[in-house]
Amino acid sequence: MSGPSTFVPKSAIGRWFESRLPIMGLVHSSFIAFPVPRNLNYMWTFGAILAFMLIAQIITGVVLAMHYVPSATTAFQSISHIMRDVNYGWLMRYMHTNGASLFFLACYIHIFRGLYYGSFKPPRELLWIIGVIIYFLMAATAFLGYVLPWGAMSFAGATVITNLVTAIPFVGTGIAHWLWGGFAVGGPTVNRFFSLHYLLPFIIAAFVGLHVWALHVTGQNNPDGVEVQNVDRDTVPFTPYATMKDIFAVSVWLILYAWLIFFIPNYLLDADNYNIANPLVTPAHVVPEWYLLPFYAILRAIPNKLMGVVALFASIAILAFVPWLDRNPVKSAKYRPAFRFFFWVFVVICVLLGWIGSQEPGDAMTLVARILTVGYFGFFLVIMPILSFAEKTRPIPASIADAVLAKKPVPAE
């Protein structure tokens, strides 16, 4: 699939350039000639959608940073200034805040797709782990960004999350003071969070580069989970096939994005964040943004603070071990009826954990949250290992071409 490019530029200047820096050959082999399994469904367009969202977030973020002033006394007013006085500032800000939500939505679809079709299995373990790192960096970036408007919920969120480190024995409080740049969340905190919020997206971009690189070495997985055997029969070239499909999918995604930006821009935002941060007034109900709610529910489900923090991080870290937890040689859930059932149970568990994360904690809620937390980890630590060996899988097609042909209706005589 990879190896030295066979690309030969048509022009003399192109050949001169290519023999010194083969960047056009890289583009050609990665985005034009790259063989794409011909049975990919629309779930495989989310890579392109995510790349688009990352670029959109960086561009809108760079523009917002030109007008944002990070300090405890100016941050909130500078957002108001962006919304009221900066030309199309409201558009940039609504694109950025709602863009974060759509970035996560696309990312979750992408991750669940990987789980469903076994995209983490050999030879794509590293590709998957790089993806988990990207997701973790995204969560960190989103958290840092959420603090910047310096609203009441920004302050509460920053306080809750940075206080997690105080659970570390002996050195926790010292680390918290070091993170805050003081004895509580305050002006120095918002300033350094801004610095890090600007830095991390570029680190994400670097990991995305590795992600794409690793993908282009192993090639894409596909809905049938059988590897490419014959490039001519099983694949189509990236351009125009995947390019056109990806561009179309991005345009549909843009409709959803535009709906959020222009018609319901405050639907996903917390109203409490339109009140300025006040250390003396904590919002009645502290909740993170929707995309972090399941993890918040897991954190609150554990009675011990340190163990809660451990569970919170374990719930993300466990994804990195999936290639070794699920060792069933059949990749796609299409041919794994039991795994498919438990996969959907897992999806429901994640959604319900998210709902519980948004609710006031109570005895009944905590009990349900604990059961669901056990279910969340049980999927990885119990179901996956057991189904690695105990599942009766359906026969997989001999090749991608066979799978495509099997689906094709026989033309009527």
List the binding residues.
96, 110, 197, 211, 216
* Type of residue numbered 184: A
Radius of gyration from C-alpha coordinates of the chain: 24
CB distance 367 to 318 below 8 Å: no
Classified as helix, coil or strand, 151 is strand
Binding pattern to another protein, positions 84-113, x when CB under 8 A? xx----xx--x-------------------
Distance from C-alpha of 393 to C-alpha of 266, rounded to nearest angstrom:
46
Distance from C-alpha of 244 to C-alpha of 249, rounded to nearest angstrom:
9
206 or 247: whose CB is closer to another protein?
A: 247
104 or 342: whose CB is closer to another protein?
A: 342
Which residue carries 């056109």 as its tokens?
Answer: 244
291 or 342: whose CB is closer to another protein?
A: 342
31 binds another protein (CB under 8 A): no
* Type of residue numbered 261: I
Looking at residue 394, what DSSP letter applies?
A: P
130 or 349: whose CB is closer to another protein?
A: 349
Give first-to-last CA distance, the chain, whole Å.
40
Q: Shortest approach of another protein to residue 310 CB, angstroms?
A: 28
Segment lying near another protein (by CB under 8 A), choices 52-60, 116-124, 159-167, 255-263: 255-263
Q: Which of 192, 233, 340, 370 is in the footprint of another protein by CB under 8 A?
A: 340
Q: Shortest approach of another protein to residue 403 CB, angstroms?
A: 13
Site for another protein in 275-314 (CB under 8 A): 275, 284
371 binds another protein (CB under 8 A): no
370 binds another protein (CB under 8 A): no
Distance from C-alpha of 85 to C-alpha of 66, rounded to nearest angstrom:
13
Q: Which residues are annotated as a binding site for heme b?
A: 96, 110, 197, 211
259 binds another protein (CB under 8 A): yes
388 binds another protein (CB under 8 A): no
Length, in residues, of the chain: 413
Distance from C-alpha of 352 to C-alpha of 393, rounded to nearest angstrom:
29
Alpha helices in 263-321 (DSSP H): 293-301, 305-317
337 binds another protein (CB under 8 A): yes
Distance from C-alpha of 223 to C-alpha of 330, rounded to nearest angstrom:
12
Q: CA nearest 290: which of 49, 103, 77?
A: 103
121 binds another protein (CB under 8 A): no
Site for another protein in 229-248 (CB under 8 A): 236, 240-241, 244-245, 247-248
Peptide bond into 409 cis (omega under 30): no
Binding site for another protein (CB under 8 A): 38, 80, 83-85, 90-91, 94, 236, 240-241, 244-245, 247-248, 251-252, 254-255, 258-259, 261-267, 270-272, 274-275, 284, 337-338, 340-342, 344-345, 348, 351-352, 355, 359, 392, 404, 408
